Chain A
Amino acid sequence: MTLTGQTSTRKWLYWGSHYLMIAAFVIFALFPLYWLLKVSVTPNDILYTEGVRMWPSRTTWENYTFVLTQSNFPHYFLNSVIVAGTTAIVTTLVAALTGYAFSRFAFRGKVIIVALMLITQMFPLVMLIAPIFKILAPLGLTDSLTGLIIVYTAFNVPFATFLMQSFFDGIPKDLEEAAMIDGNTRFEAFRAIILPLTLPGVAATLGFVFTAAWSELLFALMLVSSESASTFPVGLLSFVSKFSVDFGQMMAAGVLALIPACLFFLLIQRYLVQGLTAGAVKG
């Protein structure tokens, strides 16, 4: 065998094992989603009778039609869009301003504020439900979407701030200084020069907060009792009745709930990829 033949076999082995491992990981990660899809299109009468099969012998859309027309699901869905969307936007706005301050200014008490923000991330959420309920109840913010938005925003701001700070840290200070010398105030420089360059970071933060708020169950369950203010994770539980679990409908609702998150990431993925490769093209 020639030398080049040897190296090309080695190369083939190298890349082959690469892709094999990536494929194994992707299958492992996506398998539950596949199962979700499979159960959602399986007719109820054969769900338990057919045993474990990779694909049912018959498929149906009836679970979907039921969820969309006969259940409260569209309403939960709308509530979730409102809560997750507003939370994502408000959190990102606050986090961008705070993260910029952390990244660019030295001020008294900075260390203390950072420490406090880290501490808020250390407690299990369950511990905080009772006090938060006590605070929100007299304000009339339980059983309301506004209450949920406030709580979600409060819980997501610290992490989102650190995320935004790291993106600002990646942008040289010289840029806004040049803009300030060119005739901008600091805020104008932030808006016209720094923010456009941080769009990947903004997109990543929006996506992160949106998915966190979209799938949150604990607070949604404890702070809201009425149907009208329920979000979709709570709604999913309504498919569990005292005597049975309606898996087909529950899975259909689950698949539908994936759609906005997927759409959202499709929208921002251009910036996300930019964000991931930003380090490579700088300089």
Chain B
Amino acid sequence: MASIQIANARKSYGAVDVLHGIDLDISDGEFIVLVGPSGCGKSTLLRMIAGLEDITSGDISIAGTVVNELQPKDRDIAMVFQSYALYPHMSVAENMSYALTLRKTAREKIADAISGVAEILGLTALLERRPKALSGGQRQRVAMGRAIVRKPQAFLFDEPLSNLDARLREQMRTEIRKLHRRLGATSVYVTHDQIEAMTMADRIVAMHDGIIQQVGSPVEIYDRPANIFVASFIGSPAMNFLEGSYEQVGENSAGIRLTDGALVPVLPARDAQHNQPVTLGARPEHITIVSDGENGLPAKVELIEPMGLSTLVHVTLAGKPIKIFTMDRPAYAVDSFIHIAFDMAKVHVFDSASEKRLPPASEPHGDHAGQ
């Protein structure tokens, strides 16, 4: 097991810059999830760690050694590919033992390792099969097994679950987490699925356009997103955003004046000026439907989406679509007007120009905002 350091790593394809100076310290045994929309450079970064892509500039170290010039085979890492990349002409057992055979491991040792891992992953009955004769989920397990038998310094995963159906994906998520707890191996896991990031990560690295937007624990990223990108990318259903301007109402109270003139009270923000253009960010679960008469804002119901446990209510407020998460069964109809209120302690204020979050003055100073 080992730590991984990435220092000011850049990647360009010709004139196109794909990664703009990535700095990241991954501790020994940590499970890191790189998350971001498709094309943001996650795979490129992972492949640079693996040695499958050259590093344009900067350094990558594994276990304290700079590996920039090392071939993939000399980095002692294992990788699980999105396509699984199982060798089609080899049996499951041969696929899993390939790396050990290349390392000239003794035959009995290989057999022990294979049967041990096959046991863990439930592959014992499939060892003699070719990949072609396996289901998607089974292939995924073989790909995992092939990585595990090697006991490498670190595991790299590139969207390993995205070819599975929803139920299997959910199941493998927990299994991979359990495996990680059991093996304690340093892992870097790439996904575009924020739910995978939230459920699996020790720390999430949120990326956008080749730049790290924020690094933090899932809860930290969810509760204190560094900017509008992270706030909108993490969380499903997604956070609602409303444009407005910041108003200092008194010494200890503030609000955001929406475009339709309504004032939404917020906690006074540190570093926010009176009349500064800001964006209000509110997660669907931080908006409540209130009975008439309370000081809620009138909103028109557009759509009611029952989700079993809860209901998602789509409304329009100040001309903008807003989603509200409620555990109550709705007693109102589409096209009717309801009153909604924002949870003052939970909503976020973002500077509209820089898109950075303006934390409330009451929040302790901290470095959780990433860069």
Q: A: which residues have CB within 8 A of B?
A: 172, 174-175, 177-185, 193, 196-197, 281
Q: What residues of chain B lie closer than 8 Å to A178, measured between beta carbons?
A: 79, 81, 85, 87, 146
Contact of B73 among A174, A181, A193 (CB under 8 A): A181
Whether B98 contacts A197 by the Cβ 8 Å rule is no
Number of A-B contacts (CB under 8 A): 55
Which residues of B from 56 to 95 have beta carbons under 8 Å from A?
A: 71-73, 75, 77-79, 81, 83, 85, 87-89
Number of interface residues of B (CB under 8 A): 23
Q: What residues of chain A lie closer than 8 Å to B79, measured between beta carbons?
A: 177-178, 181
Whether A175 contacts B73 by the Cβ 8 Å rule is no
Q: B: which residues have CB within 8 A of A?
A: 50-52, 71-73, 75, 77-79, 81, 83, 85, 87-89, 98-99, 102-103, 132, 146, 150
Return the chain B residue nearest A178 by Cβ: B85
Contact of A177 among B81, B89, B132 (CB under 8 A): B81
Q: What residues of chain B lie closer than 8 Å to A182, measured between beta carbons?
A: 73, 98-99, 102, 146, 150
- Give bound CA distance, A103 to B239, whole Å: 44
Contact of B78 among A174, A179, A181 (CB under 8 A): A181
- Give bound CA distance, A196 to B79, whole Å: 22
**The 9 A-B residue pairs with the shortest CB-CB distance in the complex, in nearest-first order:** A174-B85, A183-B102, A182-B99, A178-B85, A180-B72, A183-B73, A174-B81, A181-B72, A174-B83
Q: Which of B85, B87, B88 has the most CB of A within 10 A?
A: B85
| Sample of 28 A–B contacts (CB below 8 Å) | A172-B85, A174-B83, A174-B85, A177-B52, A177-B79, A177-B81, A178-B79, A178-B87, A178-B146, A179-B87, A180-B51, A180-B52, A180-B72, A181-B50, A181-B52, A181-B72, A181-B73, A181-B75, A181-B77, A181-B78, A182-B99, A182-B150, A183-B73, A183-B99, A184-B73, A185-B73, A197-B88, A281-B132
Whether A184 contacts B83 by the Cβ 8 Å rule is no
Whole-angstrom distance between the Cβ of A5 and the nearest chain B Cβ: 40
Supposing A184-B73, A185-B73 touch, asked if A177 and B85 sit within 8 A by C-beta, the answer is yes
Q: Which of A177, A185, A281 has the most CB of B within 10 A?
A: A177
Q: Which of A178, A193, A197 has the most CB of B within 10 A?
A: A178
Return the chain B residue nearest A196 by Cβ: B89
- Give bound CA distance, A46 to B146, whole Å: 73
Q: What residues of chain A lie closer than 8 Å to B52, measured between beta carbons?
A: 177, 180-181
Whether A183 contacts B103 by the Cβ 8 Å rule is yes
- Give bound CA distance, A172 to B89, whole Å: 14
- Give bound CA distance, A178 to B81, whole Å: 8
Whole-angstrom distance between the Cβ of A122 and the nearest chain B Cβ: 31
- Give bound CA distance, A281 to B79, whole Å: 25
Whether A185 contacts B71 by the Cβ 8 Å rule is yes
Whether B98 contacts A180 by the Cβ 8 Å rule is no
- Give bound CA distance, A183 to B132, whole Å: 24
- Give bound CA distance, A184 to B78, whole Å: 13
Whole-angstrom distance between the Cβ of B73 and the nearest chain A Cβ: 5
Whole-angstrom distance between the Cβ of B149 and the nearest chain A Cβ: 10
